Structure 1
Amino acid sequence: MKLFAVFACLLVGCLAGKPHPCSSPPLMSGALTVSSQNEKVWAYAQYLYDALGQRLRLKEIGTYENKTFTYDVLLLYREATMYEIVKHNRTCKKKPLKGDFYPLGIPKTASLLGQAVVGSSSGPGEGLLVNTWTGDQPDKGGKFMITYTEFGCIPVSAAFHTEQFGWMVLSYFNNVVGISDPGELNPPDFCPDTEMENSKEEPADFLSLFFKKH
């Protein structure tokens, strides 16, 4: 009986240790880099992320086709609206935003590729336990591969396949749970009266923000 109890405890421990899809904290801030397989795009961005209000702010600097750009954009998914913000002259452009809001985390349909330690597993605090997952992009076709921490479900990296650029790779760092200035996720006071632009261009989506011709 004791042997059966020990076996049962070991079995429960193994099942509990298996990675499962998870959701990231609903409020986060940090930084990320984006690069493309064909080397046409590279960008660094500070981000603010609000899954509760479906809002995202990105402040970027980068290069596209060997041209340097800076970009400050606020994405309001519930309003299907994007604001391009230029603080130094207090101007805004208001544009349509397409696509659904996808919260950070592991989709339930994703498949686990494996678990690994980033850094070293030789001693306490020397490494970070992460899980890597793969699956299909719901609205664009193609594959994605994402890596999140085992504890906290914090994003580490993500790769998405695009027809135009091949694989787009995002690397996250300096992530913080919470947002120090929630007001940054609202349009500035010089933006709300801005009228929506009528343009023949396709409405913007998340990945297009890193390879627009600024």
Structure 2
Amino acid sequence: MYAAITLCVFMCLTATTHADHHQPCHAPNMTGFMSVISLKGDVKAFGAFTYDSMGKKLRFRSNESYPTNTSLGLDLLMLFDEGIFYEIDSKNQSCEKKTLQCTQHPLDIPDDATFMSTVNSGSPSIEGEGIKVSVWRGAMADMKGHYCMSVTMGCLPVYTMYFHESSSFIVSLTEVEIEIKDPDLLAVPSCCLAQPLEETPEGTVNSFLNEFM
């Protein structure tokens, strides 16, 4: 983890040579685990995610069994194309429906991202001991901050660092499989169907990233 942080910080702070042929790629459908850790070392969240790349939908459920009381307990269904998301409480069969002001999230490279470099993490000459990644950076849409994202050559996100004036954290993915194992997780739960859209207080920016700030 700290090696990844060091690498991304180094890449974000050093000058790079840009190539015109480098265009942001888009991640495939994915199922796996996501961890969100502050740069101070605090675990903000850990849990399972399901991502529909074509439908632009993300379900993230954290801390169902993770042994810490310092991290967030979340069950989020993000519908990015529709510009709304749901905060779900399955235990109490309750739900909150809110507007998304910012659709940025750590599972896809934004179209306006800037390519920095391609690097080998570990050893490229020893089978199974290295991984080749491309590094991208850019501004956090509608928020005062920036990000640095590392993805594989197949466009699977490895980790993304977010630097914000109030909070900086790293999002990392593990045990990723290129499929949607349970499509029902991306359907709006019955307890949410008749839920009215809540008003967003003035000055509030709702987004996936803001859940961890």
Q: TM-score range by the shorter chain?
A: 0.7 to 0.9
The answer to whether the 8 A contact 2:36-2:43 is kept is yes
Which residue among 113, 118, 121 is the counterpart of 2:117?
Answer: 113
Q: Partners in 2 of 1:108 and 1:125 — Cα distance?
A: 33
| Partner SS state of residue 96, structure 2 | strand
| Partner SS state of residue 190, structure 1 | helix
Note the 1:1-214 alignment, pairs <5 A: 20-38=22-40, 42-61=44-63, 67-100=70-103, 104-105=108-109, 107=111, 109-116=113-120, 118-150=121-153, 152-165=154-167, 167-198=168-199, 200=201, 202-211=204-213
**Structure 2 gap ranges (5+):** 1-19
What is the TM-score when the length of structure 2 is the normalising length? Answer: 0.75
CA radius of gyration, larger in: 1
Letter in 1 for 2:39: Q
Number of aligned residue pairs: give it.
190
**Structure 1 gap ranges (5+):** 1-17
Q: Which string of whole-angstrom CA distances, capped at 9 and with x for unpartnered residues, describes residues 163-193 of structure 1? A: 111x221111111111011121111122201
Letter in 2 for 1:56: L
Q: Partners in 1 of 2:169 and 2:67 — Cα distance?
A: 14
Q: Partners in 2 of 1:155 and 1:19 — Cα distance?
A: 20
More strand by share: 1
RMSD: 2.8
What is the TM-score when the length of structure 1 is the normalising length? Answer: 0.75
Q: Percent identity?
A: 29
